[in-house]
């Protein structure tokens, strides 16, 4: 008799490749809103073609669904995803990922004021040039295919004091 295992395949960092975090803030009538875009560069062992499945596997292991709209994780303390912000740096942590980044001063001010940040974790690989090109980041983050195939979360901002 043959049985099929439904256990997820172990996460292999080599499948994900390089995960980058890009930060920006968007002006609204109620003040700036901090955003993060997390994505792979598509440089994993399987190349850009394998990136979507690898990222989706990473997200599902953390209890995060892709394409389900925005998940307000500020009231979900058991969700294993966190955002730690310290002077001059920040880190997105989840099982299999500890992605550190240097946020822009505008992002940091918005995150401090709001106490949360909006994360878009794309399954599509970033192939749009330099991650510090604000227009390219905005075009990628707002692209219909990126949003449709990403996980979107609102995360509480934690500091070493909280």
Comparing 6-15, 26-35, 52-61, 114-123, the range with the smallest average pLDDT is 6-15
Total domains in the chain come to: 1
pLDDT of amino acid 162? 54
| Residue of higher predicted confidence among 64 and 7 | 64
Residue 4, classed as helix, strand or coil, is coil
Residue 137 — pLDDT band, cuts 50, 70, 90? confident
Tell me the pTM: 0.87
Pair 21, 103: CB distance under 8 Å: no
Residue 120 belongs to some domain of the structure: yes
Q: Please, where are the H alpha helices in the chain? A: 13-16, 51-61, 105-114, 134-142, 144-148
Give the integer Cα–Cα distance in Å for 122 and 92.
Answer: 14
Give Cα 11 distance to the centre of its chain: 17
Give residue 100's domain range.
14-158
Residue 54 belongs to some domain of the structure: yes
Pair 116, 74: CB distance under 8 Å: yes
Q: Which residue's entry shows tokens 């099982």?
A: 95
pLDDT digit string (tens) for 75-102? 999 999 999 999 999 999 999 899 999 9
């Amino acid at each position: 008799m043959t049985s099929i295992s439904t256990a997820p395949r172990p996460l292999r960092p080599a499948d994900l490749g390089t995960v980058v975090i890009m930060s920006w803030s968007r002006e609204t009538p109620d003040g700036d809103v901090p955003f993060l875009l997390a994505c792979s560069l598509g440089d994993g062992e399987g190349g850009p073609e394998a990136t979507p499945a690898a990222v989706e596997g990473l997200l599902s292991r953390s209890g995060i669904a892709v394409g389900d709209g925005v998940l307000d994780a500020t009231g979900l303390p058991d969700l294993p995803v966190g955002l730690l912000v310290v002077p001059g740096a920040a880190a997105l942590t989840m099982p299999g990922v500890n992605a550190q980044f240097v946020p822009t001063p505008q992002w940091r001010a918005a995150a401090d004021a709001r106490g949360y940040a909006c994360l878009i974790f794309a399954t599509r690989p970033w192939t749009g040039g330099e991650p510090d090109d604000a227009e390219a980041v905005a075009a990628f983050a707002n692209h219909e295919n990126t949003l449709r195939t990403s996980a979107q979360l609102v995360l509480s901002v934690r500091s070493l004091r909280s």
